[in-house]
Structure formats: C-alpha cells, structure tokens
Amino acid sequence: MRTKLISELKPRREITPSITGAKMMTGNVAAAWAARLAEVDYIPAYPITPQTEIVETLSQWIALGEMNAKLTFLDSEHSMLTAAGTSSLAGARVFTATSSQGLLYGFEMLYNIAGWRAPIVLVNVSRAVAAPITLEPDHNDFLSTRDTGFILLQTETCQEVLDLILLAYRVSEDHRVLLPSIVNLDGFHLSFTREPVKLPDVEEVRSFLPTYNPPYPFRAGKPSAKGVAVLRPPLYSFYKYQMHLSSLNAIKVFKEACDDFEAYFARRYDVVEKYMVDDAEYVFVMMGSFTSIGKKAVKMMREEGLSVGLLKLRMVRPFPTQDIRRALEGKKAVAVIDQNISPGLGGTLFAEVSSTLYNVEKKPRVVLPVIGAIGGKTLSVDEFRYIVELMMKYEQRGEPEPILLFREDELREVESLLKLGVGE
C-alpha cells in the first residue's frame, strides 16, 4: 500500500492570512508564512534544532488543508536537498529548511543544485557547528556555502525573514539569474523570538511573485538530461563562468525586485542597509540579528556626540562590492564585526570587505577586524563603545590588530565551568 503524503489526508482550501495587520510570530513561523504565501508546490523536510518549528508549522497547515502543497519527510538532509533540487528541475516551486550540521550533511548537493540552475529557496537557521556541539548561533554554517553558487541573504528581524524569502523566490526564478537562494536567520535569537510581522495580502503576493515558469522543464514527450558529466575543461569553465555572471546579475534583479516590493508592500530593502552612515566618520559593518544591538549602540553614541554609523550586509552572495564601496568611501575608520571565525585567518567578512576597499581611492585609514558573538555569545553596547575607541586609536597611529571580543564576566564564567569540568 502506498504511503500517503500529509497533503493528501485532508481537503484543501484557498489560503488567506487570518489577519490584515501585524501578528506576533517567531522567525521560524515567519519563514513558514513566507512559504505559504509563495504558494510553494513541494517541501522536502528533515527536522533539526532550531529549524524544526518551520516544517512542523507547514506540516500542520497542510494536514488541515490550509495549504496546497506536498510535504515529505526524508531520511537525511542529503536526501532532502536531492529531492529539493530534482523537484525544482521538474518545474515545482520548492521550499526547504535546515540548520548547522544538517546543512553540512547535505553540503554535496548544494553545488549540484546550483549547477543544475534549480531555483529553490533554502532557509538556514544558523547554529554554530560542532565540535564542541552547541545549539546557539553564529554564521559559520551559513558562510560555508558562499562558494556554492547560491544567492545568500541574511535577515535581522522576523519581518525580514518573511520578506526576504519572497524576494529570494522572485530573484532566483528570474531567467537572468536562475540560481537557488539561502535565506539565513539566527537560531534562537531570531528563530524563537516573537516580533510583530505584517502579513501581505495573498493576491498582492501573487502579483509580485507570479507562478514559477521554468525555462527548460522536464517533459515526458521531450526527454532531456541534467547534471551530465562534462569531460572537456573549456566546457566546464564555460558553465562556471556562466554561473558567476548570472550570480552578478542577481544584484540588479534584487534591486528591481525591491522597487516592486516597496510599491506593493510599502517596505524598502536593498543589498545593504545604511544606519546613520552618510555623515559618520566611524562605521561598524555587520549582519544578522545582533545588528539591532549595534543600531542601539550607534543611536546612544550619536546622542553623546560621536560620529558613528552602521552598515548592515543583507546580501552576501553575490557580494555587493559597489554598494559597500560607496557607503564606506571617505570614512576615517571601519570595524568589521564577524560572527564567524576561520581558524588561522580570522573573520570571513573582514577579508571580503578589506578586498572590496583595496582599490578605493579614498578608502578608510583603518579597517579593524573584530570577531565576536560566535556560538551565541552576545554583544553589549559597551563592547561597541570599546570598538569605537580602538578605531579612533588606530586612526591616529599604529596598525590595527585583530580583536577577539571577550568580556571579564564571560571569562569568569568560563573559568568557573572549567573548574567544574575537572572536579575542582
């Protein structure tokens, strides 16, 4: 007897958001709502903390007939991503989600999905990678995908989670791009935090995000092959160059989509977000939910007369080189705050921002590398003040040294835990 899909168990009915204004929901539920509003066709799933709430929510809606989609639970993240990519090639609009070790388990398929030019949207709920194992977030899992060919988008708020997923489908499915996307949200700090989220009208979403129209769908009467071996080096190079150029197209397509998104939903986005940057002398560069703490610190220091600002990266791939250059040109000093660490190198974003600024004529005198908030370690306003002090110091003299943020109270906590570990 054939196993029935969850979506076959109940009759379906037209989806309609239950409210017209803002509704309190977690980042995970916002992600599920985005998939529902995008009217995805297929959701291959495998649960992992802190992502599980997303597929639980979608599964419940489908079982109740509130969402017209197929959902299947696979035996691993590798199988999940394989199903996602192949279903997309068949012409389905596909949504899936994972975290941390699950993302790494399916990593092989990320390169294949991008190479197949299958425009799925994958939500990654960031969680630091073992070992040591933890449930708290940083961006090492997300940034490990930067060379796969996926478009990479990072969220700060629950509203951004919903909105960027809709934008990701719009950009990925555009025939000038035709690449998959990863939309990242920070585990626990955003995935399980409830914030007000405005749910757009489903008809407006349909106008903004038309039905997926694959350029080369599988047809029974017209057989075709995907993912075939390419044994001639020039041909492989051609395909990779083609993917690179299509990825670069995503910046223009994203900006166009943001213009339309604002017209439909009255919310404005771009590849970067400038917070009090234009007249600032000292600028933080960062991304993710902890950006909200940075904005609070900037506002407080502005009230004290300090000329500071914050540049938030919303798009990581393709890297928004020109937007970053325009935002940071002429500044006295910049501090890149990485929520990741590449042992033996430092922060990933620092290296990329520094490379971006290398040929800028009026580049900042100082680009300060800062690593903090890995493994869920929080950032404080006082730490942002300390970073500004260092920017001012190095702007006057000396060469900046990499900063590993670690407060005294955190050190005392670690020392106490280590003593417990050895039985003292």
For position 13, what pLDDT does the model report?
A: 38
Is the pLDDT at 422 greater than 70? The verdict is yes
Domain that holds residue 374: 272-411
Domain presence at residue 353: yes
Same domain, 287 and 261: no
Is the pLDDT at 167 greater than 90? The verdict is yes
For position 46, what pLDDT does the model report?
A: 97
Place of tokens 């998959």: 180
Is the pLDDT at 166 greater than 60? The verdict is yes
Same domain, 302 and 230: no
Q: Kindly report each contact of residues 299-305 with a partner whose C-beta sits within 8 Å and lies 24 or more positions away, as own/partner.
A: 300/381, 301/384, 301/385, 301/388, 302/276
Same domain, 250 and 323: no
285 versus 16: the higher-pLDDT residue is 285
Q: What CA–CA distance (Å, rounded) separates 120 from 88? A: 6
Amino acid at 187: G
Of 260, 124, 125, nearest to 200 by C-alpha is 260
pLDDT tens column, 74-130:
999 999 999 999 999 999 999 999 999 999 999 999 999 999 999 999 999 999 999
pLDDT band at 420 (very low <50, low <70, confident <90, very high): confident
For position 5, what pLDDT does the model report?
A: 36
Mean confidence (pLDDT) of the chain: 93
Same domain, 295 and 231: no
Q: For residues 217-226, give the mean pLDDT.
A: 82
Q: Please tell me the total count of domains within the chain.
A: 2
Q: What CA–CA distance (Å, rounded) separates 223 from 81? A: 23
Same domain, 248 and 278: no
Domain presence at residue 424: no
pLDDT band at 262 (very low <50, low <70, confident <90, very high): very high
- CA torsion, ordered 101, 312, 196, 263, to nearest 10 deg: -120
Same domain, 252 and 152: yes
Same domain, 119 and 259: yes
Q: For residues 135-143, give the mean pLDDT.
A: 97
pTM of the full structure: 0.93
Same domain, 126 and 257: yes
Is the pLDDT at 162 greater than 70? The verdict is yes
CATH number at residue 364: 3.40.50.920
pLDDT tens column, 351-394:
999 999 999 999 999 999 999 999 999 999 999 999 999 999 99
For position 148, what pLDDT does the model report?
A: 98
